[in-house]
Structure 1
Amino acid sequence: MAMHAERSAALHELTSAPIQHAFNPYEDNGGTILAIAGKDFSVIAGDTRQSQGYSIQTRYARKVWQLTDRAVLATNGFAADGNNFVKKVKQRLEWYEHAHHKQMPLKSIARMIQTILYGKRFFPYYVYNILGGIEEDGTGAVYSYDPVGTYERESCRAAGAAQSILQPFLDNQIYFKNQTPEPGAEPFIPGNLPLSTVLALVVDSFTSATERHIEVGDGLEVYVVMKKGRPTDDLVGEGKLAPGMAVEELDALGEGDGEKTFLVTRSLKRD
């Protein structure tokens, strides 16, 4: 009888204990983005696969967005948050252009994005952002963010499902980490690589990620933002792009006489 009473008391204690209800509205939709800054250009790229675990939701979902003639934003993480965040950023840029009759500079866009993200820090956008483009002095720049707004300017950055694969590769090829120069060779300077080399690195990066990661694949979109007045022969010249790559010049969003933005596309064959 005593044993039965003890079991009843223990059962009552278990069933009457408070229950913690979890609320998790976030989802990681896979994919990968990266950006590389050059001397007078920036390259921002992303794949087009959107997935949920091992299930592919769509084979074409944009992750890279042109904001102005000199700024392109790549987003990765929770696709719904990413789309909503891009809409908010574009709205702020439109307000700025109506008020000041000019497009917002890249450095100011970087700070504005930080402010928006930090303002939502208690219920953050589950999005990792990389902003690339041309500064007012004509140099290429890349800004990377975490979901609550911490950011820094870099020469290159990768984010997303294949970040652990791509970032060490970029560190080696862009920052020249763990490389031993030949005696008498000039010092390595990040940002001095030619556009053709940078595009080749981007293609190699995503090709490798597609082979190694199920959440990366289908298509590749690469935005190239060039300094005003910079020659475009190294991109649109005959024989400059590898087979299977297509390039088109995007229409200017502003006055039409500033920086040029090109979209390079390529298939990433992976089922």
Structure 2
Amino acid sequence: MASSGFQADVRALQKQLAARHLIYQHQHNKQMSCPAMAQLLSNTLYYKRFFPYYSFNVLGGLDNEGKGCVFTYDAVGSYEKVGYSSQGSGSTLIMPFLDNQLKSPSPLLLPAQDAVTPLVEAEAIDLVKTVFASASERDIY
């Protein structure tokens, strides 16, 4: 999980999720799946909706089929499963670059294509390095 926002709220949220994950491990004798953790994070954020954690989160991992999954959140727990995401002040710099590199040319092309271009691990690591280097040069916050 990656978070941006008010660091005290981010830390409190991470501690609460770690405690809930530990309880889950003891009750079920296994690790929580990424989709289950996604729902737990959504419920936790929604529970605090009237005095929300000022944190914006991205959760990534493997689903039950072993495929990668990424979930993006707002401060009150609304979430969406996406192919890639970014949060924080550099998000406005990173997302257009990722859209350009990963998104299919048009959702209207036939035959239907995946919305996200699949990458091998080395290509993905190089892309992340390039994206963060580019954003860090331009983000002034």
TM-score, normalised to structure 2's length? 0.90
Matches within 5 A, 1:66-85: 73-85=1-13
Counting aligned pairs with the same residue, the percent is 39
Matches within 5 A, 1:1-271: 73-177=1-105, 187=113, 190-215=116-141
Q: Is the 8 A contact 1:171 1:177 kept in 2?
A: no
State the distance in 2 between where 1:176 and 1:160 align: 25
In structure 2, what residue type is equivalent to 1:133? G
The structure showing larger relative contact order (alpha-carbon pairs under 8 Å, at least 6 residues apart) is 1
The verdict on how the C-alpha distance between 1:191 and 1:97 changes in structure 2, with shifts beyond 3 A counting, is farther
State the distance in 2 between where 1:176 and 1:202 align: 18
In structure 2, what residue type is equivalent to 1:195? E
1:110 CA displacement: 0.4
1:124 CA displacement: 0.3
Select the structure that is richer in strand: 1
Bigger CA radius of gyration = 1
Structure 1 gap ranges (5+): 1-72, 179-186, 216-271
Q: Deviations over 1:127-164 (max 9, x none)?
A: 00000001111100000000000001011001101111
1:207 CA displacement: 0.6
Select the structure that is richer in helix: 2
Structure 2 gap ranges (5+): 107-112
State the distance in 2 between where 1:167 and 1:177 align: 15
State the distance in 1 between where 2:85 and 2:125 align: 14
User: 3-state DSSP class of the match of 2:72?
Assistant: strand
The verdict on how the C-alpha distance between 1:191 and 1:137 changes in structure 2, with shifts beyond 3 A counting, is farther
1:188 CA displacement: 5.8
1:214 CA displacement: 2.3
TM-score, normalised to structure 1's length? 0.48
State the distance in 1 between where 2:137 and 2:100 align: 20
The verdict on how the C-alpha distance between 1:172 and 1:210 changes in structure 2, with shifts beyond 3 A counting, is same
In structure 2, what residue type is equivalent to 1:88? Q
